[in-house]
Amino acid sequence: MHFSRDLCLQIDDALQRQWLETDGLGGYASSTLLACATSRFHGLLVATSREQPARHVFLARFEETFHGDGRDFPISSARYGGAFSPEGHRFVDRCDFVPRPSFTYRIGHVVVTREIQMMHGRPAVLTRYAASGQRKPIDLLLRPFLPCRRADALSWQNDGLRPDVETLASGISVRPYEGLPRVFITLSAEASCDGRSAWYRGVEFQDDIRRGYDGHEDQWSPGVLRVTLTGGAEVVVAAAIGEAVLDPAAAWAAETTRRDAADAARPAGAPGALGRAAEQFLYRTESGRPGVIAGYPWFEEWGRDTLIALPGLTLARGRVEECGAVLSGLRPFLRGGRLPNVFGTDPATSDYKAVDPALWFGRAVRLYDEAGGDEGRLLGELLPALLEIARTHRAADGEALSCDAQGLLSAGTPDVAATWMDAVVDGRPVTPRNGQQIEVNALWFLLVDTVARLLERRGDRADARGWRRLRDGIGEAFTQRFWIPEKNRPADHVTDGVRDDTVRPNMVIAAALDPSPLSREQRQAIVLLSRGELLTPRGLRTLSPRYLRYRGRFEGDQRARDDAYHQGTVWPWLLGFHVEAELRAFGRGAAVERRLRGLLEGFEPHLGEHGVAQVSEVFDGDPPHRPGGCFAQAWSVGELLRAHALLGPRHVARTGDVR
């Protein structure tokens, strides 16, 4: 996670590499290798608050200038009208991102460093500046930019802003808009503020423009803070909402100690790096409920993403009861046997259109159980939730969700995409899969089996037998409905009795699950097909390239990207299911293990390619498989961690079995 001056000055490439810091509450700090924002989502303090649960960019950046010998030396960068101003990147010497973002600049014989870390458990960011090599004291001038707007919006100069600045013992506080919390900026050294507020107009976000959005905004600044640094001195600057960080230096030391302890407990190599990435997605809501952020910078908590990512983020790292706590926390959101795909602050403000989050919940409970989860939680909390899901689905007879006489589920409508392939253009699903989907029914089979298993453990043997009979019926109907003997592969989905045999990765999910209605030979056929048409070094394509609908590049405006999202674009989270399916299909032979380990090790260069020390949401279907979408995605990280764990020394595979 080290970038030299030469790498940093490859400007276009450096502006594509983004770093991330998180606060454990859903907030973050993020920018590019050059600390130049290219997206409206970039910012030094992007946080949620009691006043506004949606993320807001409170502090976009500091304009940072060192002043000595009558000259100014900027170390920050921004873009206006296609040009940099200031041009602080000219002085960059190196960037490092472990254990925190650290930027080193050389200005003649003076070496300047900027380090950034968020405080865990509160919406606050700390920036430490240090200078060495100077012959006399130098001044650090900091101009904060405070748009104080939603992270997905833009700000413009307006008369509604209140420019009042309150001077603190060593810093300032402002509250530019009613309805938002007060912003505090404090320093660990004596500082002054000139109080000359100003609007900077036309700040440019080139990545937003490239993606087809408006990419310009105006940013307000309350003035310039000035602090003097003598030889070898340093200053810590804290920006926070709600209340001030009174001792920024002590806060820096405490956060550093916390991180050092966490780093010492992590394994070496890719699993350790991915474990560090995993921590950035685990968070707590305002009420204290533990959850998972789906991706940075624009996703928040999504049900499907949470439940796919959770086993890898927690169980694969030995955090069994952390997984259990997240699962328990979801129970109050269960409504009519469904869990939301997009979480609001409560069930009333959540979105329940998707069918599969509740089914992925069943899979997560199963893995939690197999990892040795607490029996009291399993039988007392999670089994009742599974029973509610199972009973509701078994009795479903609506247009958007129904269960037929054989026990198979039908989900979605021609106008509603109910599965993870949910891109919509002009009000219509890009990938219409309404009907009986292979992965939905494989997850349903697993959930029913899990209900029977837990009921048996609880002593409800008669009820368990009933659910096992349903499971067996589902399994028989599944094979008859989906498997196409003459092609030796399954249908992706069945609509009005017509099989759609398009080659997509959903069959791989079904082949990876345990238990599954698929035989070992059927799993093998699926894995071989996946290897031949879907598998890439960055995950599985969402559509085989031999179809006319295939889109090999994930690029362009939102319409073009949505059209490619599930029509060939590669998703790395699916690689975890491919690894699991291959182990179940072929066992742990030397050739299989060597191939799968090579796939996972081949991901390591990507950790510095798009999101530094993170894994992207998607990649192009065509080589060289450029990254795209969110630069940090929970299920990408979680499933890679789980795949590493499946291949680890404590996971011994027998024929068709992975434990």
Give the mean model confidence (pLDDT) for residues 643-648: 94
Task: Return the top range by mean pLDDT from 1-5, 172-176, 231-235.
Answer: 172-176
pLDDT averaged over the chain? Answer: 94
Q: What confidence tens digit (pLDDT) does each residue in 307-327 have?
A: 999 999 999 999 999 999 999
Q: What is the largest CA-CA distance in the chain?
A: 87
Q: Is pLDDT above 60 for 650?
A: no
Crossing angle for the helix pair 574-586 and 590-601, nearest 10 degrees? 170
pLDDT band for 653, please (50, 70, 90 cuts). Answer: very low
**Does the pLDDT at position 651 exceed 60?**
no
- The token pair at 454 is 């837990």
Check residues 292 and 417 and name the one with the higher pLDDT: 292
* Domain ranges for the chain: 2-262, 266-658
Cα gap 653→582, rounded to integer Å? 11
434's tokens: 């309404």
The CA distance from 503 to 545, in Å, is 9
Residues 642 and 576 sit within 8 Å (Cβ to Cβ): yes
The answer to whether the CB of 372 falls within 8 A of the CB of 452 is no
Q: Hey, what are 108's tokens?
A: 């003649």
* pLDDT value at residue 649: 57
**567 confidence band (pLDDT: 50, 70, 90):** very high
- SS3 labels along 211-260: CCCCCEEEEEECCCEEEEECCCCEEEEEEEECCCCCCHHHHHHHHHHHHH
Please determine, looking at this structure, whether the domain spanning 2-262 carries the CATH number 1.20.1260.
no
- In DSSP notation, 539-572 reads EEESS-TTSTT------SSHHHHHHHTTTT-EET
Pairing, β 28-32 against β 18-22: antiparallel
Q: Residue 270: pLDDT band by 50, 70, 90 thresholds?
A: confident
pLDDT in tens, 505-520: 999 999 999 999 999 9
Distance between CA atoms of 145 and 218, rounded to whole angstroms? 10
The encoded tokens of residue 211 equal 């993606």
b/e for 637-650, b at 16 or more Cβ within 10 A? bbbbbbbbbbbeee
Q: Residue 128 is encoded by which pair of tokens?
A: 């430490």
266-658, what's its fold?
A: Glycosyltransferase (1.50.10)
Q: How far is residue 61's CA from residue 48's CA, in Å, rounded to a whole number?
A: 17
In this structure, what are the phi and psi dihedrals at residue 44, rounded to the nearest 5 degrees? -85, -30
Cis peptide before 624 (omega within 30 of 0): yes
- Of the pLDDT bands very low, low, confident and very high (cuts 50, 70, 90), residue 656 is very low
Q: Which of 111, 91, 119, 116 is nearest to 101 (CA)?
A: 116
Asked if pLDDT for residue 246 goes beyond 50, the answer is yes
Q: Distance of alpha carbon 499 from its chain centroid, rounded?
A: 34
Residue 17: left (phi > 0), alpha (psi -120 to 50), or beta? Answer: beta
Ramachandran angles phi, psi of 120, nearest 5°: -80, 125
Give the CB-side neighbour count of residue 171, counting CA atoms within 13 A.
22
* Angle between helical axes of 303-313 and 634-647 (0-180°, round to 10): 30
**Tens digit of each residue's pLDDT (9 = 90 or more) over 128-164:** 999 988 888 899 999 999 999 999 999 999 999 999 9
**Helix runs in 41-169, H state only:** none
pLDDT band at 438 (very low <50, low <70, confident <90, very high): very high
- 254: left (phi > 0), else alpha (psi -120 to 50), else beta? alpha
CA proximity to 505, closest of 565, 446, 439:
439
Cβ-contact 115, 238 below 8 angstroms: no
pLDDT of residue 98: 87
Instruction: Place 504 in a pLDDT band, splitting at 50, 70 and 90.
Output: very high
How many H-runs (helices) and E-runs (strands) does the chain carry? 18, 43
Query: Which pLDDT tens digit goes with each residue over 367-381?
Result: 999 999 999 999 999
Least confident of 100-114, 181-195, 265-279, 481-495: 265-279
pLDDT over 70, % of the chain: 98
